[in-house]
Amino acid sequence: MDYFYAKKRDQRVNEYFDSEAMEAFADWNGKVFAPGKLDRKTKELVAVACTYLTRCPYCIEGHTKAALKAGASKKEIAEVIQIAAALNAGAGLKPIPGRPGSPEPLLHERLELVEDPVEGVDSREVWDPEVVDGVLLTVV
């Protein structure tokens, strides 16, 4: 992949970033990837899939190596990449809610079919359909 991106980053770039903000990000990122309800391997596999959606070569390489180190197999990594590719491709084929002729119901109609997808939170009180129409449909 050397021909796609520089393997070594010029560390002088870091001089321009706010060091306090970068330290806060590093701390938060460390907490996100710490074992919790999901183990490190699972989190890294999710991250690998996400990096293929964000298309960041540094993230792809870093999270793939971290997933392998956490015990993921190459077949597991390939599978999550295929999942990411399918989701990415499918997004372009999905009908737009509210478009005439679209089979998808509008968000507020869809929410009535869902029994509080977040435990203890009534999604109809949280989400404003005017703001997130089409976004929450993926989550729901």
List, for residues 4-38, the tens digit of each pLDDT value: 666 677 788 888 999 999 999 999 999 999 989 99
Largest CA distance in the chain: 53
Residue 95 and residue 103 in contact, taking contact as beta carbons nearer than 8 Å: yes
pLDDT-derived band at 138 (thresholds 50, 70, 90) equals: very low
pTM over 0.75? The answer is: no
Q: Where are the domains of the chain?
A: 33-93, 95-140
User: Under CATH, domain 33-93 is a member of which superfamily?
Assistant: AhpD-like (1.20.1290.10)
Write the pLDDT tens digit of every residue in 57-72. 889 999 999 999 999 9
What three-state secondary structure class fits 100?
A: coil
Average pLDDT across the chain, whole number: 76
Token pair 């391997």 is found at: 41
